[in-house]
Amino acid sequence: MKKIYVLLFILILELPVFSKTLFYEKDYQRSWCESHNGSLEVVLPDKARVDCVTSTHAIEFDFAKKWGESIGQALYYAVILNKQAGIVLIMEKGQADEKYLARVKEVAKRYNITVWTMTPNDLCKL
């Protein structure tokens, strides 16, 4: 029985190695939000969870490939909280993620969404 627990413990430690990302989204959220004096995982009346809320922004974090989802969520959270919409686009794939950033920026201009980016290097610096 102990062998099973040891094996499970080792597998849990190795999960990031098997994931498609270098870090979990939660790692980026926690690091960025704390450094910007925000509140993590704010629960709205409808049980939706805002990744980070600062004094001015309701912010959605997403990996670059999920750029479209980040726009809708950020706008919704901003309306409900009466704050500025914000997106932190996580860019782990370098140049390959630039096309997603360009898409977000295009929509952000039109709907007044503040956009920040994070890379694994940024996470290590914070």
The predicted model scores a pTM of 0.81
pLDDT grade for 125, boundaries at 50, 70 and 90: low
3-state secondary structure of 39: strand
Q: Are 50 and 33 in contact (CB under 8 A)?
A: no
pLDDT tens digit sequence for 14-71: 455 455 888 889 999 999 999 999 999 999 999 999 999 999 999 999 999 999 999 9
User: Across the strands, what pairs with 85?
Assistant: 58
Q: Where are the domains of the chain?
A: 20-125
